Amino acid sequence: MDDTPPRKSSLGSRLATALRPKQSGKRLMKKSTVNLREAAASKDSPLKKDSLSTSSIRTNVQAQNESSPAVDTQTGERQDYTALIHGLGHQGSFDSLKSVSRLDPQRLDPDKRAGDRRVASLSDVLWHRVCSHLSPSGVASLAFASKTLRYRLGPEAWIALNHPENEEFKCEFLVSLDSQLPDHLLCFRCITYHRRVQKGQERLRATATMNPLFICPWASEPTQIPIRMRLTPGHTLPFTFVQLVMRAHRYGPDYGIPLESLSRRWKCRESEWTHQSRYYIDKGHLLLRIVSKSFAEPALPPSGLRHLLYSREDYFPYFSACAHWRDGELMNNCKCALGHIPKPKETIAQQLRTGPQINNAMRHVNAIVTLCGKCRPMRRCPDCPTEYLIEVRFEEDKNDPVNKFKQSLVVTRWSDLGDGTTPLSGEWFACNRETDYDSFATIGRRGISGTFEAQSGVAIPGQRMLSLNPENAKLGEKGHNWY
């Protein structure tokens, strides 16, 4: 008998053996398309065995790919085109009557004469009875709906709006025409629509800069209407820009300006305060955030605190505040936070210059300041939708080549400016005047700050929400705590 050495297996057969699927994996696979009789007949041939194993693996992988959804190899995200296909199916359909009426209002009632005939069939007594249950603005809107109603009701509905006691109803009626006048803007001084002189190019500028958006003959006349909101010294937010942003959000870019055009960064000329403003629209309301900060020295005397916090022009704070900042604990909390700023660290040599005593605590000063239970919580003004957060941060001063890092006072304000329809009521009026607005009952538990910061994914420090005026004392300038 020949003692021949056993034949070594080829590289292909060894790879096929290593890549052969396990028994547990075969249970989940579909029925194999390989003929087992042919595989048994060619058992002695190693080349056929290799090709058989490779083909079975390819068949199993192909069956798995056909049954499983498409998966992105880079991100692992499942690609499902079902929503895309359904969205294409709804395009041009009559599924949404609201969208159809927005595109072409006449498609809902192509026969306008039939509607006019139905309106004309009712008696004048009935229409006047209907008008008796409506406000003056509602009667004017009804008369403006069609020519038939105009002849039925007469011009008395519009004449009544010119009476001084119906000024609010006149504004309400004119605001309803916003969607039909993209080239005009409603002026609340003279309650008239004026043509926009900078259409699409309106930019928010400083108060001292001439920036007319329309030509109004009463532009220089004083008014009791809060048409501007004070942000910081020398910077205000006119209500016309709130109108433009909200009109563009509701009706399209041709009606106003984009939201991003309102955001600004500026530095106060009179002090070292810097400010940054940003806006966000949530549920049809314009939200405002202003972050104001200034470097502060430790252990300031009362005169130094006033010099840091108050503007000598009008004795308002350098940072942004609502109209009710004098009533409550806002300024006291800012002074309390400044009292927590530690003195800078001193070496032993620096301490020996002032005396023979050495304080080891001054050699290792913690730069992270922790505020107390009085100035740390967030504060909400009970009379308007405004919230405040006071912080002390350790930041870099790029203008000081010697002492690069210093403690700074940061005051953040969040406010709800309303829907931008009228400055005579709502959140805008509450932020600028004394009203019976109850912020805790209107806003609820979730703060404006949480809604604003959620859209950018930034988590603010978790703080309690307390009232800015816990004693509900409304003294204004007559009080002595604010200064």
pLDDT tens for each residue of 166-223: 888 999 999 999 999 999 999 999 999 999 999 989 999 988 888 899 999 998 888 8
Instruction: Look at residue 49 in the predicted model and tell me its pLDDT.
Output: 44
Contact between 60 and 22 under an 8 Å Cβ cutoff? The reply is: no
Instruction: Say which DSSP state 255 is in.
Output: G
Q: From CA 247, how far away is CA 181, in angstroms rounded? A: 10
Three-state DSSP string of 122-190: CCHHHHHHHHCCCCHHHHHHHHCCCHHHHHHHCCHHHHHHHCHHHHHHHHHHHHCCHHHCCCEEEECCC
| Closest listed residue to residue 269, CA positions, set 211, 203, 206 | 206
At residue 101, the pLDDT reads 44
pLDDT of 362: 60
The dihedral sign for the CA sequence 36, 41, 44, 49: negative
At residue 417, the pLDDT reads: 95
Q: Which two three-digit tokens encode residue 298?
A: 């430790």
Rounded CA separation 248/255 (Å): 5
The pTM of this model reads 0.72
| CA-based radius of gyration for the chain | 36
Tokens of 406: 């210093």
Q: How far apart are the first and last CA of the chain?
A: 116
CB 287 within 8 A of CB 452: yes
Tens-place pLDDT, residues 303-336: 999 999 999 888 899 999 999 999 989 999 999 9
Q: Give the residue among 174, 206, 203 at the shortest CA–CA distance from 188.
A: 174
User: 3-class SS at 415?
Assistant: strand
Interstrand relation of 378-380 and 465-467 (parallel, antiparallel or unpaired): parallel
Domain locations along the chain: 263-478
Residue written as token pair 């008998």:
1
Low-confidence ranges of the chain (pLDDT < 70): 1-9, 11-12, 19, 21-81, 83-84, 86-113, 115, 345-352, 358-364, 457-462, 480
